[in-house]
């Protein structure tokens, strides 16, 4: 099957954007943690290494996807299929529950949402493109996640029809403390950076209005509380300490 040139250009463009973004994050993290060696920082970043590998011109994952990319793109865009699948995934992450959940509950509900989304797009692709195309998109998603999908969201535990995903079972999930050290370190780093990002979001409020200022302070408190809850939950779920705080 011949690779589509337009799909290839789009894929390589996506790779450049994501790798540039990960480079920026790692440079920021190193600047705020002077004791880290930048080379070591990148070597230990599971997402960075996985994307570099996947985006290489000789990558099997990349080239297999490009063989089926045109059909996959058509299958997902036909009749707003992709948007319908995204709604399944976003239903949890855009809900108030997401901001209040512990990290363990976030893993459970997030993995359920992810596997439902995966089944949705797999079904669309299977109907129009066949099983090889389904395997190609599954491999792409797995590598794009740095292996996190298979590490955390096992279908045996979080399949769309599992007890955990139909509301019949609340899991005491301990998979987080079983991740390998590089994945653990990478997750902690991005959680910390996410918290720093939220802290730096400017408040678009008029300081002269006391009521609005009070509302802004409330939002600040809520935002900081979310970050603190995430970090505390993650610390309790893993054996490794969190990285040093960003300035």
Find the mean pLDDT for residues 27-46.
72
Residue 118 has pLDDT above 90, yes or no: yes
Comparison of pLDDT for 160 and 55, the residue scoring more: 55
Q: Which of these, 102, 98, 139, lies nearest to 118 by C-alpha position?
A: 139
Q: Is the pLDDT of residue 5 over 50?
A: yes
pLDDT of residue 1: 58
Mean per-residue pLDDT, 74-103 = 82
The mean pLDDT value for 27-36 works out to 75
Q: For residues 76-106, b (16+ Cβ closer than 10 Å) or e, as one string? A: beeeebbeebeebbeebeeeeebeebbbbbb
63 vs 160, more confident = 63
HSE-CB at 39 with a 13 A cutoff on CA atoms is: 0
Tell me what pLDDT residue 156 has: 85
Q: pLDDT at position 243, please?
A: 37
Confidence label for 241 from pLDDT (cuts 50, 70 and 90): very low
Does this model's pTM top 0.85? no
Task: Give how far Cα 231 sits from Cα of 6, 150, 154, 182, 225, Å.
Answer: 42, 23, 23, 18, 10
3-state secondary structure of 145: coil
Q: What is the mean pLDDT of residues 98-125?
A: 85
| Most confident of the ranges 14-18, 25-29, 108-112 | 14-18
Q: How far apart are CA 56 and CA 62, in angstroms?
A: 8
């Amino acid at each position: 099957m011949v690779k589509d040139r337009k799909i290839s250009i789009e894929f390589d463009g996506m790779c450049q954007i994501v790798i540039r973004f990960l480079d920026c994050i790692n440079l920021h993290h190193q600047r705020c943690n002077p004791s880290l060696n930048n080379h070591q920082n990148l070597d230990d970043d599971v997402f960075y290494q996985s994307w570099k590998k996947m985006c290489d011109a000789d990558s099997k994952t990349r080239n297999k996807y490009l063989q089926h990319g045109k059909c996959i793109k058509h299958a997902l865009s036909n009749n707003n299929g992709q948007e319908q699948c995204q709604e399944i995934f976003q239903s949890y992450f855009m809900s108030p529950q997401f901001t209040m959940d512990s990290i363990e509950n976030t893993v459970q509900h997030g993995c359920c949402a992810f596997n439902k989304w995966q089944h949705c797009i797999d079904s669309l692709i299977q109907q129009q493109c066949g099983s090889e195309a389904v395997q190609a998109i599954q491999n792409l998603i797995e590598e794009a996640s740095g292996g996190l999908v298979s590490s955390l969201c096992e279908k045996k535990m979080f399949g769309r029809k599992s007890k955990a995903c139909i509301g019949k079972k609340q899991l005491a999930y301990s998979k987080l403390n079983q991740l390998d050290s590089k994945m653990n370190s990478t997750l902690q780093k991005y959680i910390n950076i996410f918290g720093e990002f939220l802290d730096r979001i400017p408040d678009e409020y008029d300081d002269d209005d006391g009521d609005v200022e009070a509302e802004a302070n409330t939002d600040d408190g809520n935002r900081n509380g979310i970050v603190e809850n995430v970090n505390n939950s993650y610390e309790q779920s893993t054996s490794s300490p969190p990285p040093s705080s960003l300035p």
